[in-house]
A and B are shown apart, each in its own frame.
Chain A
Amino acid sequence: MIGIVVVSHSERLAQAAVELALQMVPGERPRIALAAGAGEADGAPVIGTDAMRVAEAITSVASPDGVLVLMDLGSAVMSAELALEFVDLPGVEIRLTSAPFVEGLLAGVVRAAGGASLDEVEQEARGALAAKAGQVGADAASSTAVSAEAAPVVSADTESSVDLALINPSGLHVRPASMVAMALAPLDATVAIANLRTGAPAVAAVSPTALLTLAARQGDRIRVTAHGPQAAEALDAVERLVTDGFGELVAHTAPIPVIVPSAVEPPVGGPTRDRPLGVSPGRASGPVVRMPDPLAEPVATAALPPAERPAAAVRIDAATAAVSSELGARAAAVTGPGHDILAATALMVTDVTLSGDAKRRVLDAGESPEYAFWQTVDGVAEIFRAQGGLAAERIADLHDVRNRVVAELLGREAPGVPLRSEPFVLVARDLAPADTALLDPAICRALVTVEGGPTSHTAIVARSLGIPALVAARGALEIPEGTVVLVDGTAGTITQNPSEAELAAVAEVRDVVFDGSGRTADGHRVQLLANVGSPSSAEAATAAHAEGVGLFRTEFLFLDRSEAPSIAEQVRAYAGVLAAFPGRKVVIRTLDAGADKPLPFVTMAHEENPALGIRGFRTSWRRPDLLDEQLAAIALAVADSSAEVQVMAPMIDTPDEAADFAARCRSHGLAVAGVMIETPAAAITAPELLTNIDFVSLGTNDLAQYTMAADRMVGDLALLNDPWQPAVLRMMRLAFDAGRAAGKPVGVCGEAAADPLLAAVLVGFGASSLSMSARALGHVAELLQGVTVAQCEAAAESSSAARSAEDARAAAATALGVGA
């Protein structure tokens, strides 16, 4: 029978472990010797190990069958190794094992008592963690929510792991990655995550940057592997985050600015324009404040002397800590998407992968801290770029981090929006998400950028803040700092040193209030409606005197969950919004999932081309029950309401789809049914579509995207993805002409209706109603009140005959006698 030696820092620990093991073997037992503690000091036992004691213990249990040595940790291992140098036992094999201390001892004692060989006992001892790993993994799985499809996998003796499916729309992008890292930071466990779809090697879960390199997106399965004392807690923590969708399923009901990092660099060889493009309406004035010039890439310098490297490396920690705490403080000062963007950036700044690699470059190669940090970040950015997709969209954030830290290292003003207390007009080459998250519309009165397009980040942020914005303002950087300018986001103009009268006019129109009745100067009625996506935005719509709702998006009910809401829950939600509009028109759009709004229970896990995939009405092919339930719920809500409810379907292509939808509506007793025109197919076949339905509504964002074959999410395509493109205008006109011929109303809901000039063009085409965000109602009503129907028709005629989007806008402005 073999002998067993137990090496531990603590005598009590070793004795208890041996006692536990011996409970299992009532009969014959192997000889067991302890080598625990390091004697006494001042009358107290010293926690530690003593190689001499280990050697003595080995000698005392030596047997021709061999000796197995189990150790707890650290110096126990070293003392045992050293002890082998002290013992002289020819013919006795002494084996140190990496088996777990308690479990290995128990399993080893049991096997040894049965007379097993040294090999067999050691193998048993080393495999002793498998049972615990299996048990703990199974517990984690049983607490899993249904949608996560958790499957415990025991991949190695000492590791436990769990497979999880990502259900949140954006996968492991920066905020979820940061959440994982933060959740794991306090736990004593080493955790790695791999993306099973790509099969790439697992990365350290404590590094958000490394997690981003996984390119894990919605529908991907990830394998989370953990070892260490708190491995089980770590797996639980990650699993909770994944199954909760990282809180995103809720957060998506609030608008999150779309980040278009590629807009940072101007499109090469793409279309250019000479005049600014107004992308957010309104007029404002103030002195110009310039964004600080971007940092130049630090140049490589002579290697630092080795003696100076440690101090230089430490400066990187100081700089990242300073930048992180500043961003953290600014994050604390804002709420909503701005807070999340800043908090995520702050975390990225201190990411150990970035600072650790940079410090290593300083220590090993003697690079300057700023050069090392810049190069390190660019290396990571290159990996992101190669991966494409979500990781590539984070490159602008990485560069933001890089610039802030390098500015700190160089003692320069931090890049980003300068802090001012007096109102100003911000002029920049382009704006990054971390810049715009901080904009205070009371201080920053207007945005002017050299780069960007109508769907760029600048445009989206400006519209959500309700401040005017111009993009593609080529000469803006030449305007001296401090020059007072007047920015007209409606007309797309910037005026330097405006007259007192012009400034006074700005002051007057700054707060345009809609009086609740849309009309032209000559009294032609145009319903001005609001887009509503939640009960709270319904309140904003009534506060802004909207005449009704032209687009009631119902996705908010579906986005924060993994299964569809019940009919009863839907009825309550619909009734709540309808109650805000007694006697008014409310157009309810049925569920528009897919593309940028994936839902786990209706859309495909991931599609190569989601904008051209199963989305909108197409989701009802797979889940017809969801559409029928929704129509039933709408019918029940309508029965209790005085609102004039109409129902429409998104993403319709063919007359048969329109007829199918209308028939379903009618079977639920819903009298007025329509469809959206978002595809060229629908616009071209509008006359046929209208034979079975009561109205159509133009979704101009998607219609522009599909007409121009230009992805709305790609900043470089912004100039193509413009509703002013004559091709898009002519596509719209097909629908308006069909509506006029059929005597049925054609409305517009989409960004185009919120652009006052374009709204006038749409009225000229024959739009019966325009639906927009409540904030835009005043500006659109104001412009329409100043023009006649004849002017609108002339604007429609000349703009759709134009050669370019720029010319179309100019032609409309001329016809309407507005600016430009």
Chain B
Amino acid sequence: MAGETVTLSSLVTWLSRFRDLVTENRNYLTELDSAIGDADHGANMARGMAAVMEKVGASPATTADELFKSVGMTLVTSVGGASGPLYGTFFLRFGMTAGAVSEFDGAALSAALRAGLGGVVARGKPELGDKTMFDAMSPALEAFDASVASGGSPAAAAAAAYDAAVVGRDATTPLVARKGRASYLGERSAGHLDPGATSTAFLFQALAESLAQG
């Protein structure tokens, strides 16, 4: 059952589940990216998360800042595409804000996620409706915070965040890309799901599932 606190091992489960999801959906993500990008998102994310889990397994971290610095740097050096610096910055900032802790309550998790989102914003300068991962991540954090603010457990908040990420992801379909490789396509980018928003929905699906396991 979902507890009120989140342990470091739950977060490792999160990362591992995220790796599984992007690996299982590697071809799907690449297919999405081939419609409006350079057809490497699935391969990049699967490679990056595989490297992350290899690193995490080889030298287990004892604190969140250590764990997520390693995750971020690994992504930065192994992903290759724009999602490298974006997800890399997300996890680097996540870890810096989390600090040298091994347990989180809802508010702490929220603060770390917020910092991660801030990193994505600093890196990509996205706005809502640009057809990017931000379109899934921003509403997910809104929902997470709203759930925590109304007394929800971290697991409940993560479930709400996942639902909101899915809605945000689906809303990218009709949008015209204004950032990234897809923006070169202009209006032709409309009518396709954004691959970055899709992998971000997986990120929150992984979080919701790992926290539900307690």
Contact = CB atoms under 8 A, between A and B. Distances in A.
A51 B76 contact: yes
A48 B84 CA distance: 9
Contacts of B80: 9, 37-39, 46-50, 75
B58 to A, nearest CB: 17
B171 interface: yes
B108 interface: no
Contact of B84 (A41, A49, A307, A363): A49
Interface in A307-361: 307, 309-311, 313-314, 316-317, 352, 356, 359-360
A485 B191 CA distance: 50
A50 B77 contact: yes
A34 to B, nearest CB: 15
A191 B189 CA distance: 17
Given A50-B80, A363-B174, A81 B190 contact: no
A632 to B, nearest CB: 55
Interface residues of B, number: 35
A188 B189 CA distance: 13
Contact of B81 (A48, A81, A356): A48
Contacts of B184: 188, 228
B86 A38 contact: no
B89 interface: yes
A306 B167 contact: yes
A235 B77 CA distance: 41
Contacts of B77: 38-39, 50-53
Contacts of A37: 80
B81 A317 contact: no
A307 B139 CA distance: 12
Contacts of A360: 129
Contacts of A188: 184
A49 B129 CA distance: 26
Given A81-B123, A82-B89, A317 B78 contact: no
B195 interface: no
Residue with the highest number of chain A CB atoms closer than 10 Å, among B73, B79, B129: B79
**Chain A's interface: helix, strand, loop or mixed, by majority?**
helix
Given A206-B187, A352-B187, A75 B81 contact: yes
A48 B40 CA distance: 10
B199 to A, nearest CB: 15
B81 A310 contact: no
A310 B136 CA distance: 13
B124 interface: yes
A670 B26 CA distance: 85
Contacts of B167: 306-307, 310
B139 to A, nearest CB: 9
A47 B73 CA distance: 18
B40 A79 contact: no
A582 interface: no
Contact of B88 (A41, A47, A51): A51
B89 A309 contact: no
Nearest to B48: A38
A50 B84 CA distance: 8
A78 interface: yes
B173 interface: yes
A63 to B, nearest CB: 25
B186 A206 contact: yes
B86 A78 contact: yes
Nearest to B89: A82
Contacts of B170: 310-311
B29 interface: no
B56 interface: no
Interface residues of A, number: 38
A74 interface: yes
A496 interface: no
Contact of A74 (B43, B181, B187, B190): B181
A52 B76 CA distance: 7
Contact of A75 (B43, B85, B173, B174): B85
B85 A81 contact: yes
Nearest to B191: A317
Contacts of B173: 310, 314
B84 A51 contact: yes
A38 B186 contact: no
B201 to A, nearest CB: 13
B82 A78 contact: yes
Contacts of B73: 52
Interface in B62-82: 73, 76-82
Nearest to B44: A48
Residue with the highest number of chain A CB atoms closer than 10 Å, among B79, B88, B174, B176: B174
A190 interface: yes
B152 interface: no
Nearest to B73: A52
Interface string B127-156: 001000000000000000000000000000
B82 A75 contact: yes
Nearest to A362: B174
Interface in B20-72: 38, 40, 43-44, 47
Nearest to A190: B186
A314 B76 contact: no
A74 B89 contact: no
B171 A363 contact: yes
Contact of B190 (A41, A79, A310, A352): A352
A307 B81 CA distance: 31
Contacts of B174: 310, 313-314, 316-317, 359, 363
Contacts of A46: 47, 80
A50 B76 contact: yes
A310 B43 CA distance: 28
B118 interface: no
A307 B165 CA distance: 11
Given A47-B40, A309-B171, A359-B174, A74 B82 contact: yes
17 contacts: A38-B77, A38-B79, A49-B85, A51-B77, A53-B77, A73-B181, A74-B181, A75-B81, A75-B82, A75-B84, A79-B84, A310-B170, A317-B174, A352-B176, A356-B190, A363-B171, A363-B174
Given A51-B88, A52-B77, A74-B180, 6 more contacts: A38-B84, A50-B80, A51-B84, A78-B82, A79-B85, A317-B174
Interface of B: 38, 40, 43-44, 47, 73, 76-86, 88-89, 123-124, 129, 167, 170-171, 173-174, 176, 180-181, 184, 186-187, 190-191
List 10 tightest A-B contacts by C-beta distance, closest first: A48-B80, A38-B80, A75-B82, A78-B85, A352-B187, A310-B171, A82-B85, A46-B80, A51-B76, A310-B170
Interface of A: 9, 37-39, 41, 46-53, 73-75, 78-79, 81-82, 188, 190, 206, 228, 306-307, 309-311, 313-314, 316-317, 352, 356, 359-360, 363
